[in-house]
Amino acid sequence: MATTVDAQELAALRALSAAIGADPHLTQAAGGNTSLKAGDTLWIKASGKWLKDALTDDIMVPVAMGPLIEAVERRDPSADKPQAFAIDALNPRGLRPSIETTVHALMPQRVVLHVHCVETISLAVQADCEAEAGRRLQGIAWAYVPYRRPGLPLAQGIAERLRPGVDVLILGNHGLVVAAETVAEAERLLHRVRSLLARPARQTAAPDIAALTTLASGGGYRLPADVEAHAVALDPDSCRIAEAGSLYPDHVIFLGRGSVVARPGEQVADVAARLGANPVAILFPGAGVLMRGDASSGADAMQRCLADVTARVDIAARLNYLTAAENDELVNWDAEQYRQKLNAAG
């Protein structure tokens, strides 16, 4: 069994992973993951690790690919716990493979990049995604995979849609997968697909920082880490889209179900009283966004992502939101892995 990874390719992948992780339009917090195959071994980003740290931290875990793929084919629940397939002898730090390891294992190409690209997500939440992406991706061997919960359900969804030669997947309400035989080819394909899917963001006025600072004072809330996060509250269409529900899994994991929008004249305390809880973020239409004081850096990254995604959605399109059951399975699912990811992000 070949387990020796090509050191040069691994170095190239780490550099690309760090670049992807540093681009908030490609990945946010611990989201997104990259992998490299060496024989039967899949080197995949560890759960809870951030791609942006790929050059300074050891973030890759070796996984026995054959047994994992067999578990997916058998619909064995163990495929939902990829740590069972980590190769302990090559994993002295006991890192856990990403929950999305099966996505990488199912692609036959040697290098796989999975990103939560805002250009892709903004299209992948539209009910017309498959048709619109088809128009934009002519000449590319791609497949559309309708939304499934990450882990075994998503792996099965991919297996149903995968055809020989496909090297690009658009995951409904989720993101993008590109695959190639080399890191350099995978990077080229990523940027090609991204530019083909790109749409301009609707522009907004500047946030009202003075009003937000007043609203935050004494309420246990603060300004978001990125000024870009405010746009979702400044554009009426973005605000309406956000208020209507949850659009993709990491939003639910880091921010909870949907988005909370303050009513006219409401203060932070009024919103909390109305909900009976303090939401991680509150949108104040026309002013901007406030984050709860203890919100994690992952929550900040996802709040900015919401602004970047909603600003690109076609306002005339019908949107697919996660159902109540899909929200529930994300909130309740996988204490061992996704919670760990959430904590690591804090």
| Interface with Zn ion (CB under 5 A) | 175
Nearer to Zn ion, 36 or 268 (CB): 36
What is the nearest approach in angstroms of Zn ion to the Cβ of residue 250?
7
Nearer to Zn ion, 47 or 126 (CB): 47
What is the nearest approach in angstroms of Zn ion to the Cβ of residue 154?
8
Rounded Cα–Cα distance for residues 229 and 275 (Å): 22
* Dihedrals phi, psi of 155, to nearest 5 degrees: -60, -40
Nearest to 288 by CA among 214, 199, 202: 214
Q: Which residues of 219-244 are buried (b: 16+ CB within 10 A; e: fewer)?
A: bebbbbebebbbbbbbbeebbebbee
Nearer to Zn ion, 113 or 215 (CB): 113
What is the nearest approach in angstroms of Zn ion to the Cβ of residue 150?
6
What is the nearest approach in angstroms of Zn ion to the Cβ of residue 286?
32
What is the nearest approach in angstroms of Zn ion to the Cβ of residue 249?
7
Residue 37: enclosing H or E segment and its boundaries? strand 33-38
How far is the CA of 269 from the CAs of 216, 230, 242, 285, in angstroms? Answer: 10, 20, 21, 16
* Dihedrals phi, psi of 41, to nearest 5 degrees: -100, 135
Nearer to Zn ion, 167 or 235 (CB): 167
Q: Which residues of 275-311 are buried (b: 16+ CB within 10 A; e: fewer)?
A: eeebbbbbbbbbbbbbbbeebbebbbbbbbbbbbbbb
What is the nearest approach in angstroms of Zn ion to the Cβ of residue 158?
12
Rounded Cα–Cα distance for residues 100 and 121 (Å): 17
Rounded Cα–Cα distance for residues 225 and 10 (Å): 32
Contacts of 218 (CB under 8 A, 6+ apart): none
What is the nearest approach in angstroms of Zn ion to the Cβ of residue 176?
9
Is the separation of the CB atoms in 178 and 204 below 8 Å? no
Nearer to Zn ion, 175 or 256 (CB): 175
Nearer to Zn ion, 85 or 338 (CB): 338
Nearer to Zn ion, 284 or 338 (CB): 338
Looking only at the bridges linking them, the beta strands covering 221-222 and 111-115 are unpaired
